[in-house]
Homo-oligomer: A and B are copies of this chain.
């Protein structure tokens, strides 16, 4: 008999609320014979304030044993900026080698967008997750003085770039439009830029059916608002991916519906699925958070674990819910979750 052993990290702010709904939908959609086991971990601001710990080696050992991780949100104004991001979120992505950070953007009919004319948007960003300016390399000298120098080092390896570029080509090949865009800034960041561009061009030779293009990150933000339909699959570095996926989320329904997977394709460690949005402490505990991004992250999780039909049902439920939303009065977090449960079981 099949089973899913899931680590659940509700985290801070609205994290608990959205994760609750994500789990409801997950239980509802799974076939009867699949045993779902969940273990909740109390990581985040509360634990940091109580113990000073963000993510210990023992924590990583426990998490490692699960099939996958579902995360709500991490971050709280009571904790200095960077402590939980570097000490928990990034530490976990790096420790579990989550090098494919997958972020789909799809604007569904009727869903609100800040763009005029309801353009067609349906692309996926493959963001590198373990290198670039996110490595924490760098430092300061003469800290706090008028002579301070602070550096941030973007580290890019052929190994790290090639594996994510390959993953993106395979995804592009599997989609009807078969188009892959490399986003970088190779006219200024020439060392890393040439590495990315050379590897991209050389892997492209193995995928003659995939149409390729290169766009600078600054120009990419223009296209994301003037012509988002041009994108099918985008592959990009960790920082550029962070920036353009927030913009992509904004134009394709908002971060309330933006899902992401921090994926280790080799499955040497469990992958982690989380909404793109943060902990939104201003609306926490009020039932105002939209659990849709978490539910869509559950769909990514299902697909990663091989439950494709179930993932499709979750995606379809969300699509139906979103397109009808414009005609409905505002609903609570739980009401949206219940509606989605109704759709996946109905």
Query: Within A130-167, which residues are at the interface with B (CB < 8 Å)?
Result: 133-134, 136-140, 142, 144-159, 162
Asked if A324 lies at the interface with its beta carbon under 8 angstroms from chain B, I say no
Asked if A334 lies at the interface with its beta carbon under 8 angstroms from chain B, I say no
Interface string of A182-201 (1 = CB under 8 A from B): 00011111111111011000
Is A138 touching B191 in the complex (CB atoms < 8 A)? Answer: yes
Query: Measured between C-beta atoms, what is the minimum distance from A129 to chain B in Å?
Result: 12
Is B251 touching A188 in the complex (CB atoms < 8 A)? Answer: no
Report the stretch among A20-28, A80-88, A304-312 that lies at the interface. A80-88
Interface string of A279-312 (1 = CB under 8 A from B): 0000000000000000000000000000000000
Give the docked Cα–Cα distance between A82 and B188 (Å). Answer: 6
Is A150 touching B145 in the complex (CB atoms < 8 A)? Answer: no
Is B145 touching A158 in the complex (CB atoms < 8 A)? Answer: yes
Point out the residues of chain B lying under 8 angstroms from A153, CB to CB: 138, 151-154
Asked if A109 lies at the interface with its beta carbon under 8 angstroms from chain B, I say no
For A244, give the chain B residue with the smallest CB separation. Answer: B221
For A112, give the chain B residue with the smallest CB separation. Answer: B116
Chain A interface size range: 35 or more
For A119, give the chain B residue with the smallest CB separation. Answer: B114
For A227, give the chain B residue with the smallest CB separation. Answer: B114
Point out the residues of chain B lying under 8 angstroms from A150, CB to CB: 156-157, 191-192, 194-195
Point out the residues of chain B lying under 8 angstroms from A226, CB to CB: 114, 250, 254
- Knowing A157-B148, A243-B221 touch, does A81 contact B187 (C-beta < 8 A)? yes
Is B114 touching A193 in the complex (CB atoms < 8 A)? Answer: no
Interface string of A236-274 (1 = CB under 8 A from B): 000100111111011100110000000000000000000
Asked if A95 lies at the interface with its beta carbon under 8 angstroms from chain B, I say no
Query: Measured between C-beta atoms, what is the minimum distance from A67 to chain B in Å?
Result: 28
Asked if A218 lies at the interface with its beta carbon under 8 angstroms from chain B, I say yes
Asked if A219 lies at the interface with its beta carbon under 8 angstroms from chain B, I say yes
Our pick among B146, B149, B154, B254 for the contact of A156 (Cβ within 8 Å) is: B149
Point out the residues of chain B lying under 8 angstroms from A111, CB to CB: none
Query: Within A45-96, which residues are at the interface with B (CB < 8 Å)?
Result: 75, 81-82, 85-86, 90
Point out the residues of chain B lying under 8 angstroms from A86, CB to CB: 187-188, 190
Is A225 touching B191 in the complex (CB atoms < 8 A)? Answer: no
Point out the residues of chain B lying under 8 angstroms from A255, CB to CB: 222
Asked if A174 lies at the interface with its beta carbon under 8 angstroms from chain B, I say no
Is B144 touching A198 in the complex (CB atoms < 8 A)? Answer: yes
Give the docked Cα–Cα distance between A150 and B135 (Å). Answer: 13
Our pick among B154, B225, B243, B245 for the contact of A250 (Cβ within 8 Å) is: B225
Is B149 touching A82 in the complex (CB atoms < 8 A)? Answer: no
Query: Measured between C-beta atoms, what is the minimum distance from A194 to chain B in Å?
Result: 7
Is B147 touching A189 in the complex (CB atoms < 8 A)? Answer: no
Q: Which of A159, A193, A239 has the most CB of B within 10 A?
A: A239
Asked if A115 lies at the interface with its beta carbon under 8 angstroms from chain B, I say yes
Can you show 18 pairs from A to B with CB atoms below 8 A apart? A81-B187, A81-B190, A82-B194, A90-B188, A113-B116, A114-B225, A114-B226, A116-B116, A133-B188, A138-B153, A142-B158, A146-B162, A150-B156, A152-B191, A154-B154, A185-B242, A221-B246, A222-B247
